[in-house]
A = this chain, B = another copy of it.
Amino acid sequence: MAKLKLGMVGGGQGAFIGAVHRIASRIDDHWELVAGALSSDPSRAAASASELGIASDRSYSDFNAMAAAEAARADGIDAVAIVTPNHMHAGPAVAFLNAGIHVICDKPLAADLEQAEAIAEAVRTSGKRFILTHNYTGYPLIRQAREMISKGDLGDLRVVHAEYIQDWLTEEVQNKQADWRTDPARSGQGGCVGDIGTHAYNLASYVTGLTADALSADLDAFVDGRRVDDNVHVMLRYQGGAKGMLWASQVAVGNENGLKLRVYGTKGGFEWAQENPNVMQFTRFGHPTQILTRGGAGATAEGQRGVRIPPGHPEGYLEGFATIYSEAAILIRAANSGETPPKHVHTPDIEDGLAGMNFIRACIQSSQENAAWTKLA
């Protein structure tokens, strides 16, 4: 199948989430990045595009110009990925939608409700697709949990607990990531609540199918001088009577990305945490708790969709594997150019292969000789 053509707004040199979007778009080979307004600074935009193999005539520094130009090309992009700070989502989203181009957009939707509404209006009028990258909804076990709840495995839902706790803003931090996230002008009024609280909230809704009716919230900015919240306590009331708690924090020392969801109903309960996303604990009331693994015994149809590798190979297996391939590229480029490869490349080679064969040989020989000690060297 021909690949779809992808453009990107934001994600130039020094950015974080843009690179994540690009890797994610390559993994299943459906997308090809061909255009970008990677920065509003023309020279940085051009340099970033060049690094990524984007043709210079499809590198833009203005998203409006990009939307117009790409819409006009016969080989124009199928979709644009918007990976800018929150306050810069609405402008490009509206521009591309109105130009008839599908949009993939990072979360949260916008910096304020007015911007959000403008996007929603453009989605309605354009009829184009709008995909919000609440990426945690992509985990196979999250899909499975959603299916199990929808099929009634938990019975009627009663209690939903979601938390997303980090510690990286425990003290005043000065870097590109922290700067815009703690600046209300760019992040919107919500700090922690927008950056990670929305992930927890979205995940709880996604998995349970419940709609929240009302909430009671207590937000704090614990670090002196911080202008947006860094700790969020919320009690929730869902339609139908279920109750929830949500905790998001950027000052919970010892936590990296502690996104966790727990759901309880009349018949069962489960617990899932993002830091080890390949397992989920599920209990039918009165029975032993089960450890469900990604694609393992007990996997449902939804839980098997989107599984790329066998159970027990954590998601992440592919990335270790990718490192081998990238180091192979380094070694081979060095060999091709006659250069010495960098010292830090530690890829297994023919000697490791021989050592492995020798190990097999010695094991079989030793075992055939009643476990006699057998030389390897």
Contacts and interface: CB of A to CB of B under 8 A. Distances in A.
A183 interface: no
Nearest to A26: B26
Contact of A215 (B24, B252, B310, B363): B363
Interface centre among A20, A113, A312, A333 (most CB of B within 10 A): A312
B291 A217 contact: no
Interface in A276-303: 276-278, 281-293, 296-298, 301-302
A218 to B, nearest CB: 5
B268 A253 contact: yes
A282 to B, nearest CB: 7
- The number of chain A residues touching the other chain, given as a range, is 35 or more
A192 to B, nearest CB: 10
A109 B23 contact: no
Interface string A167-197: 1001100000000000000001110011001
A123 to B, nearest CB: 5
Main secondary structure of the interface of A (DSSP, over half): mixed
A216 interface: yes
A331 B128 CA distance: 10
Contacts of A245: 233, 245, 247
B290 A357 contact: no
Contacts of A217: 362-364, 366-367, 371, 374
Contacts of A19: 308
B27 A27 contact: yes
A161 interface: yes
A83 B372 CA distance: 34
Interface in A123-153: 123, 128-139, 142-143, 146
A275 interface: yes
B159 A251 contact: yes
A112 B143 CA distance: 44
Interface stretch (A36-44, A64-72, A259-267): A259-267
